[in-house]
Amino acid sequence: MLILAIESSCDETAAAVLRMSDTERTVLSNTVYTQISTHALYGGVVPEIASREHIEKISAVVDAAVKKANVELSCIDAVAVTYAPGLIGSLLVGVNFAKSLAFSLNVPLIPVNHIKGHVAAAYLESPTLEAPFSALVVSGGHTSIYNVKEPCDFEEIGSTRDDAAGEAFDKVGRIMGLPYPGGAAMDTLAAEGFKKREGKKCPYKFPSPAIADDTLDFSFSGLKTFALNTIHTERQKLSLSENDELPYDFRCEVASGFTEAVVFGICKKLEIAIERYKTEKLVLAGGVAANSHLRKGVGEVCKKHGVSLYVPSISLCGDNGAMIGAQGYFEYLSDVRADTSLNAYASDEAALHAMRNNSDGISRKSKIQ
Ligand code: KG4
Ligand code: ZN
């Protein structure tokens, strides 16, 4: 079947066309328009501006995806769309566009959870990957571990209690004056830092984001604050203002020390999860799954425990339409359908609440969310 998928939960307007069946998982097109240059002016995503830019771009992005796929709109069998979680105004643009499109084409409308979409990106490059497996999702808004029992049945077994890893990367990058969003720049600087350090310990003792208890939960706020204090102290020591550039060596040191703490902390809880749940297959997903140090660390943990690791290519880690189409296919197979009363939800909790009240415009075979 041909699925047209739309994603607009944050600052990427994205659409994709996929051909999916029992034996095929093909991405025919995957068009992403990123608003990064707009939000870079403000050092972070401005929700109101994001919504407006989605409105301006969505028609052209969907059009481009359909053209690139070389298919007729009339051949589309279903429209999948991200409906939660994310920025509410941004989500609503995609949801309303998808509703109109599905209605006019007279095809099913499939609501997709953004986080499940991130995980589903892994199916696209691994034709044999099948649930059950565990998933580690590390993004701008999430740092969670799941047991994926079936493609649409996720059990969260650990998560962050405050900031997400991506948020922390971006904040530290911003305070060090790196280009927005800071994650990718931190990755490169950290690599330099590790090289310069030549195996020696980081002089700054970054706290671990792995909460010291029996849970599989994280906390990134202490680590983030430690990094920010370290940077402010250095500025004071060198009499630098907020706008003065910090010495390159110092930036490399902070990026590598911070990254090391993130990777060690995540890997620590991941190892416990693998042992506790006897994980055999793991999917690493989300924007921060693009981080080379995290990919390496998680790869080593999986190797040590004999776990098969599935990590999407970098282009499928960040927000995109193909991942929504992939999850949309499985939701379609599970008889999940939305009608024109479909709403958008900023959080998983809000979506769950609406589901329990039967007020989300979604019909399901089972109450599994
Ligand atoms: O999944 P995503 O595209 O959006 C959300 O759903 O949140 O993730 C975006 C996050 C941003 O915080 C960005 O800085 C981070 O992913 N990111 C990275 C890297 N590439 C993107 N963080 C660390 N290292 C990277 N290479
Ligand atoms: Zn995302």
Taking only the tens place, the pLDDT of each residue in 33-61 is 999 999 999 989 999 999 999 999 999 99
For the chain, the three-class secondary structure string (H helix, E strand, C coil) is CEEEEEECCCCEEEEEEEEECCCCEEEEEEEEEECHHHHHCCCCCCHHHHHHHHHHHHHHHHHHHHHHHCCCHHHCCEEEEEEECCCHHHHHHHHHHHHHHHHHHCCCEEEEEHHHHHHHHHHHHCCCCCCCEEEEEECCCCEEEEEEEECCEEEEEEEECCCCHHHHHHHHHHHCCCCCCHHHHHHHHHHHHHHHHCCCCCCCCCCCCECCCCCCCECCHHHHHHHHHHHHHHHHHCCCCCCCCCCHHHHHHHHHHHHHHHHHHHHHHHHHHHHHHCCCEEEEECHHHHCHHHHHHHHHHHHHCCCEEECCCHHHHCCCHHHHHHHHHHHHHCCCEECCCCCCCCCHHHHHHHHHCCCCCEECCCCCC
Which atom of ligand 1 sits closest to the CA of residue 140?
Answer: 7
Q: Please tell me the residue having the least CA distance from ligand 1 atom 4.
A: 140
**What rounded mean pLDDT belongs to the chain?**
97
Q: Please tell me the residue having the least CA distance from ligand 1 atom 24.
A: 291
Q: What is the pLDDT of residues 272-321, one digit of tens each?
A: 999 999 999 999 999 999 999 999 999 999 999 999 999 999 999 999 99
Q: Please tell me the residue having the least CA distance from ligand 1 atom 1.
A: 287
- Stretch 333-359: mean pLDDT: 96
Q: Please tell me the residue having the least CA distance from ligand 1 atom 20.
A: 184
User: Which residues have C-beta atoms less than 6 Å from ligand 1?
Assistant: 10, 139-141, 166, 169-170, 181-184, 186-187, 286-288, 290-291, 318-319
Mutate to test the pocket of ligand 1, among 288, 298, 313 (most ligand atoms within 8 A of CB): 288
Given a cut of 70, whether residue 129 has pLDDT beyond it is yes
Given a cut of 80, whether residue 368 has pLDDT beyond it is no
Q: Please tell me the residue having the least CA distance from ligand 1 atom 10.
A: 140
In the reported structure, the alpha carbon of residue 155 is separated from the centroid of ligand 1 by a whole-number distance in angstroms of 23
Q: What is the pLDDT of residue 369?
A: 47
In the reported structure, the alpha carbon of residue 183 is separated from the centroid of ligand 2 by a whole-number distance in angstroms of 13
In the reported structure, the alpha carbon of residue 213 is separated from the centroid of ligand 1 by a whole-number distance in angstroms of 27
- Stretch 160-166: mean pLDDT: 98
Q: What is the pLDDT of residue 366?
A: 65
Mutate to test the pocket of ligand 1, among 11, 169, 313, 317 (most ligand atoms within 8 A of CB): 169
In the reported structure, the alpha carbon of residue 79 is separated from the centroid of ligand 2 by a whole-number distance in angstroms of 19
Instruction: Give percent above pLDDT 90 in the chain.
Output: 97
pLDDT band at 365, cuts 50/70/90?
confident
In the reported structure, the alpha carbon of residue 285 is separated from the centroid of ligand 2 by a whole-number distance in angstroms of 9
Contact 304, 279 (CB under 8 A): no
- Stretch 146-174: mean pLDDT: 97
Q: What is the pLDDT of residues 268-277, one digit of tens each?
A: 999 999 999 9
Tokens of 62: 């969907």
In the reported structure, the alpha carbon of residue 104 is separated from the centroid of ligand 2 by a whole-number distance in angstroms of 28
In the reported structure, the alpha carbon of residue 105 is separated from the centroid of ligand 2 by a whole-number distance in angstroms of 28
Q: What is the pLDDT of residue 134?
A: 98
Q: Please tell me the residue having the least CA distance from ligand 1 atom 7.
A: 140
Q: What is the pLDDT of residues 188-239, one digit of tens each?
A: 999 999 999 998 999 999 999 999 999 999 999 999 999 999 999 999 999 9
- Stretch 170-186: mean pLDDT: 95
